Amino acid sequence: MPSAATRCNRGGSISTEPRINDRIRVPEVRLVGPSGEQVGIVPLAKALELAQEYDLDLVEVAATARPPVCKLMDYGKFKYESALKAREARKNQAHTVIKEMKLRPKIDPHDYDTKKGHVVRFLKQGDKVKITIMFRGREQSRPELGFRLLQRLASDVEELGFIESNPKQDGRNMIMVLGPHKKKTEAMAEAREAAAARKADRQGRPAEDDEAPAAEQAPQEAAESAVATTLENTVPEAAEETVDAPVGDEVSDASEVAAK
């Protein structure tokens, strides 16, 4: 005999999709037309006949109603549009995230600037920031050091965030929460716009780089043409001078004169 768990799992998982066409098992339905018009309560056979006539699907949109509400539609197109809407909703969905930044009361100025830079980045992204001051040893007797440090940090980033939770002592730590002025959705939209602008800038840069060498080559080509023109004007004159050089007997006469 099968166990209780086996009997419970025999039916499989419950489908969340609506029933369509022949899967609808009721004698009559309240029918809605393709354009949203109310047809009224009709027998199931009549509704299936109308769906076949319009070349559409009969989809059960309200199963708990009495009688169930069904609509004539293209179910494949409906599922595709629903998936697109769900994807867009997930893209624009913002999750509240709390970042944490830990500091010491006697923090070095350079380390403070680094930590502050992280806080600024978190606030620009639309996230909350939990600032924790950690006290050790005798520092626990000087809580005002941590309080002044938190107030300083809050004043440095007041353009991006505000104090959502005032500083309070929690054992050896002092905690303060900063909230961003911008909502998460606004920060995400600005980040997408900035990314698109950078991408467009990168795509437009090669064209400018191609134009620059062409502009640099123009003066060089003009200089080369000027040099070529100069050579053309001077070469014939040199050729004429070489033709007038003494040849034959005149050369021997000149050598004899030189010998005498």
Distance CA 126, CA 117 (A): 15
Contacts of 173 (CB under 8 A, 6+ apart): 132, 133, 134, 135
Give me the pLDDT at residue 14, please: 61
Contacts of 30 (CB under 8 A, 6+ apart): 40, 41, 65, 67, 68, 69, 70
Instruction: Answer for the pair 60, 19: CB distance below 8 angstroms, yes or no.
Output: yes
Instruction: Answer for the pair 49, 22: CB distance below 8 angstroms, yes or no.
Output: no
pLDDT tens across the length of the chain (260 residues): 555 555 555 555 566 778 888 888 888 889 988 888 888 888 988 888 888 888 898 888 888 888 889 999 888 888 898 888 888 877 766 677 789 999 999 999 999 999 999 999 999 888 899 999 999 988 888 899 999 999 999 999 999 999 999 999 888 999 999 999 887 777 777 778 888 888 888 887 654 444 445 445 555 555 555 545 544 444 444 334 433 444 444 434 444 434 43
Q: Where are the beta strands (DSSP E) in 33-181?
A: 38-43, 57-62, 69-73, 98-103, 128-134, 161-170, 173-180
pLDDT digits (tens, 9 = 90+) for 181-240: 887 777 777 778 888 888 888 887 654 444 445 445 555 555 555 545 544 444 444 334
**Of 124, 113, 186, 126, nearest in space to 156 by CA:** 113
Instruction: Answer for the pair 153, 101: CB distance below 8 angstroms, yes or no.
Output: no
Instruction: Answer for the pair 199, 152: CB distance below 8 angstroms, yes or no.
Output: no
Q: How many CB atoms lie within 10 A of CB 9?
A: 11
Rounded to the nearest 10°, the torsion over CA 76, 79, 82, 87 is: -110
- Spell out the SS3 assignment of 116-129: HHHHHHHHHCCCEE
Distance CA 104, CA 109 (A): 11
- Strands 28-32 and 69-73: what pairing? parallel
Query: Helices 109-124 and 143-156, interaxial angle, to 10°?
Result: 50
Contacts of 175 (CB under 8 A, 6+ apart): 130, 131, 132, 133, 165, 167, 168
Q: How many CB atoms lie within 10 A of CB 135?
A: 19
- pTM score of the predicted model: 0.45
